[in-house]
Amino acid sequence: MQRSFVFFLVALGSWAFEKGFAEEHFVRIWPENPVVQFGGSLEINCSASIEADAIGLETAFRREIIGTGSNWKLFRLTNISDWNTNSLCYAKDSGAKTAKATITVYNFAKAPLLHTGLFLEAGTLMKVTCDAPEVSPADEATFDLWFAGKPLTFITTVMGGLASAQAEIASSSVGDHELICTVSLGPVTRTVKKTVNVFALPKPILQIGSSEAVVGQKVNITCGVEGSASPGFKMQILDAAKTLASSNVNEHFLQHAMIAQQEDNEREFICQVTLTIDGQAKERSVSKKLTVFYGPQMDDSSCPQIWTWKEGSTTTLTCSALGNPTATVQCWKDGRLYKIGKPQLIQIEHDGIYQCNATNQYGFDVRDVTIYVEPSQSIGHIIGYIVAVVAFIALVAGVVYWISYKQKIGIYRLWQQGKQQQSPQNSMEQRFLNKNATV
Ligand SMILES: *[C@@H]1O[C@H](CO)[C@@H](O)[C@H](O)[C@H]1NC(C)=O
Ligand SMILES: *[C@@H]1O[C@H](CO)[C@@H](O)[C@H](O)[C@H]1NC(C)=O
Ligand SMILES: *[C@@H]1O[C@H](CO)[C@@H](O)[C@H](O)[C@H]1NC(C)=O
């Protein structure tokens, strides 16, 4: 019991001694995270709480001691060629922990590449990429991107040995701006710059003097611009077919005057701004339609003047007119309105001359329309029938007469035969017959 208690005290004492010893002994390394160019050299200072003789450095690289103090040793490591390796400072027999330094070896990288368009329309976004090829270790590379004097936010990606940063650039200020990408690895930085031209097409504004005009009225078409503009822009006034007016370079106002004609109704006018950027024509345009009002007009195609219809047929009279607004057309005959545009059963009474009147608030146009109605039985047919009937009756009468004549001849011959054979006592009858024959 007593022996074991003594043993416990001894064990406790030795633990406390060792612990206290370990705490007052230490090892330090400096620098802790050195970055070294591939194949280069590095100085490492190991210091400790004990004499320098006991200080050592564990490393994979060739080393030499280049300085010693009372409690430190300075080592030079040469021909450093392994990526991410650890080196350890230690103090022999002190019980102190070792101190570790992680050496990052970088390769000299090629100059970064900046991928960007050289022209950017003001107010639009453009993607840019800065690539750091063959930078090693790629994930240690850090980027810094600036455009037009302002830092950009970007995302970096590492794929294989390629580190790259992607950002979007935008500017509302017209002119040349610098895009800068800096790639850093350890103490080495490489920078690449490109000039991006921010251009702006001004906003075209089209005004049609009076977007609604009456035929013959003067109409002014003006093309103007607003907003920031890159120098060198031009304006044009166009319609679907041709250019009506062109401005000089950098002019801000263009006008085209015209007299409104019937065919200008619904005509579209375009105000266009053009700027040539890098040999490419960029354009912005705006368009408007002109409304021209005019009185009704009827012609042979809209309102044919002669119609020939058959009695009993179903036909539609069509008569319309050009005009804006659309004209109302009415056709009259003998003070009565005829339903145009609707199928009608044609009767003889429809025959005649109609007066058609097309009207809108800008005037009217009048046109005579003649309708001929052919009777279903024409006079020619009726005469034909009468002639045929008369001829038939005459034929029948002729036949009847001929038959009755033939019969009379037959009776007479019989009578003649009979007379020659008769006796004289029939003299009374014969006298009568003789008398009749002589009559
Ligand atoms: C090494 O480190 C120790 C302790 O920090 C310091 O006193 C000494 O000056 C250093 N030696 C060199 C050469 O930097
Ligand atoms: C059209 O423009 C001319 C010249 O700018 C102006 O004198 C005229 O009064 C304008 N006419 C109309 C109808 O706006
Ligand atoms: C045609 O109609 C218009 C408008 O209703 C009227 O003023 C004009 O006298 C008419 N013309 C004829 C020939 O009926």
Reference 240, options 267, 213, 274; nearest CA is: 267
Per-residue pLDDT at 150 = 96
Per-residue pLDDT at 52 = 84
Centroid of ligand 2 to alpha carbon of 230 (angstroms): 29
Per-residue pLDDT at 329 = 96
Which residue has tokens 């950098």? Answer: 250
Per-residue pLDDT at 39 = 84
Per-residue pLDDT at 275 = 94
31 lines ligand 1 (CB under 6 A): no
At 112, is the secondary structure helix, strand, or coil? coil
384 lines ligand 1 (CB under 6 A): no
Q: Is the peptide bond before 31 cis (omega within 30 degrees of 0)?
A: yes
Reference 322, options 301, 307, 337; nearest CA is: 301
Per-residue pLDDT at 384 = 75
Ligand 2 atom nearest 218 alpha carbon: 13
Per-residue pLDDT at 131 = 95
At 138, is the secondary structure helix, strand, or coil? helix
Whether the Cβ atoms of residue 48 and residue 24 lie closer than 8 Å to each other: no
Per-residue pLDDT at 416 = 64
Distance set, CA 4 to CA 8, 17, 18 (Å): 6, 20, 21
Per-residue pLDDT at 85 = 76
Considering Cα of 281, then 286, then 292, then 297, what sign does the dihedral take?
positive
Per-residue pLDDT at 420 = 59
Whether the Cβ atoms of residue 222 and residue 206 lie closer than 8 Å to each other: yes
259 lines ligand 2 (CB under 6 A): no
Both tokens assigned to 8: 């416990």
Those residues of the chain that have pLDDT short of 70 are 1-23, 83-84, 109, 378-381, 409-439
Centroid of ligand 1 to alpha carbon of 31 (angstroms): 11
Both tokens assigned to 15: 């633990």
Per-residue pLDDT at 168 = 98
Q: Express each pLDDT in 127-156 by its tens digit.
A: 999 999 888 788 888 999 999 999 999 999
Reference 222, options 234, 209, 240; nearest CA is: 209
At 8, is the secondary structure helix, strand, or coil? helix
Per-residue pLDDT at 143 = 96
Per-residue pLDDT at 32 = 87
Q: Which residue's CA is the closest to the ligand 2 atom numbered 3?
A: 220
The model's pTM: 0.59
Triad 311, 317, 318: Cα angle to 5°: 160
Per-residue pLDDT at 14 = 47
Centroid of ligand 2 to alpha carbon of 272 (angstroms): 21
Q: Give the residue, out of 29, 72, 74, with the most ligand 1 atoms within 8 A of its beta carbon, to mutate for a pocket test.
A: 72
